[in-house]
């Protein structure tokens, strides 16, 4: 019997047409680490006078997968299409512009995935794969993502889909990243990039919740949207620009933050681009720290709805991927 070697455990995705209806997983995201774990709620019952329980009753079962890896201009659209919602790119010559945002007062349509995980010796599968939390972290050391994916109960001993296609890997690197702050979203384009940003982070969590019913199954039947948590963190040198958000904190006013990475040219003068815009208010106390001998301040901000922009956050990706 062949051993199940950890290094050969593949993870591949299939884009579902109907959420929760499994499809062939034909896409491989070579830089993204997906680590599924079986989750459950089991009720135990112990009778009076007995030391140990006598009954175990399965109530709920689901999958929770940790996501991690580098940020790429290409693979990121698979995660954004799930946590923010489905979108159709606008085609250029060979470039494609994907614009993602959350409907502020209506239902979104998230993309769901069938996920296969394993090797030729043994493989598992779960459907209704839905990105529920995503953090994008940028520093001079690395540009990385982390998050979680929900899924339906595991199906064991499946045969993995053959003939998969690798998604091209175009990484976001630290030297391509800049940060801007402005009083309006429209003002971000002309704003001058900050020069003393140590790190920047965008995070969206608590997007969906699985709904369970008395339907003869321990699995969840559907995902419903919940009140999400949207946040931006900026760590900057404690200079005039770094202390500038103190005024907004005291006034409760909105600042717009843009985290942008501009990569190599796709075609003509159009480069690979990742642009993350968020309307923010300072809701947490800033903290001071030492970073390589430099005094810094970190601002913890929360995403808010802006009535002029009619959005809270928007992520634009320009790449050469025409479809998921």
- Residue 6 pLDDT: 86
Q: Where are the domains of the chain?
A: 6-44+55-319
Whether the predicted pLDDT of 1 surpasses 70? no
42-72 pLDDT tens trace: 999 999 999 999 999 999 999 999 999 999 9
Q: Residue 85 pLDDT more than 80?
A: yes
State the average pLDDT over residues 25-31. 93
Look up the pTM and report it.
0.95
- What pLDDT is attached to residue 104? 92
H, E, C per residue of the chain: CCCCCHHHCEEEEEECCCCCCCCCCCEECCCCEEEEEEEEEEEEECCCCCCCCCEEEEEEEEEEEEEEEECECCCHHHHHHHHCCCCCCEECCCCEEEEEECCCCCCCCCCCEEEEEECCCCEEEEEEEEEEEEEEEEECCCEEEEEEEEECCCEECCCCCCCCEECCCCECCHHHEEEEEECCCHHHCCCCCCCCEEEEEEEEECCEEEECCCCCCCECCEEEECCCEEEEEEEEECCCCCCCHHHHHHHCCCEEEEEEEEEEEEECCEEEEEEEEEEEEECCCCEEEEECCEEEEEEEEEECCECCCCECEEEEEEECCCCC
Q: Each residue of 7-18: pLDDT tens digit?
A: 888 889 999 999
pLDDT in tens, 310-321: 999 999 999 999
């Amino acid at each position: 019997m062949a051993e199940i070697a950890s290094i050969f455990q593949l993870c591949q995705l299939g884009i579902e047409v109907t959420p929760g209806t499994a499809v062939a997983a034909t896409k491989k995201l070579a830089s993204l680490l997906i680590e599924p774990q079986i989750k459950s709620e089991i009720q135990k019952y112990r009778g009076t006078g007995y030391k140990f329980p006598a009954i175990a009753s399965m109530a709920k079962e689901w999958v929770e997968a940790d996501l991690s890896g580098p940020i790429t201009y290409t693979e990121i659209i698979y995660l954004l299409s799930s946590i923010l919602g489905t979108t159709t790119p606008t085609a250029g010559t060979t470039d494609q512009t994907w614009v993602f945002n959350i409907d502020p007062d209506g239902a979104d349509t998230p993309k769901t995935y069938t996920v296969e995980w394993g090797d030729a010796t043994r493989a598992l599968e779960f459907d209704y794969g839905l990105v529920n939390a995503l953090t994008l972290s940028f520093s001079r050391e690395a540009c990385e993502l982390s998050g979680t994916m929900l899924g339906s109960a595991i199906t064991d001993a499946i045969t993995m889909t053959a003939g998969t296609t690798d998604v091209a890997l175009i990484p976001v690197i630290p030297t391509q990243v800049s940060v801007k702050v402005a009083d309006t979203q429209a003002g971000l384009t002309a704003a001058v990039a900050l020069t003393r940003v140590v790190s920047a982070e965008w995070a969206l969590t608590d997007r969906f919740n699985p709904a369970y019913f008395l339907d003869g199954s321990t699995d969840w039947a559907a995902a419903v949207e919940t009140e999400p948590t949207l946040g931006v963190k900026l760590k900057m040198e404690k200079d005039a620009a770094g202390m500038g958000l103190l005024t907004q904190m005291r006034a409760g006013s909105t600042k717009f933050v843009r985290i942008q990475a501009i990569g190599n040219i796709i075609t003509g003068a159009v480069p690979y681009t990742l642009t993350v815009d968020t309307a923010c208010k300072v809701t947490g106390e800033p903290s001071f720290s030492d970073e390589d001998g430099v005094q810094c301040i970190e601002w913890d901000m929360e995403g808010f709805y802006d009535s002029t922009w009619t959005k809270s956050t928007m992520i634009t990706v320009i790449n050469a991927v025409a479809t998921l």
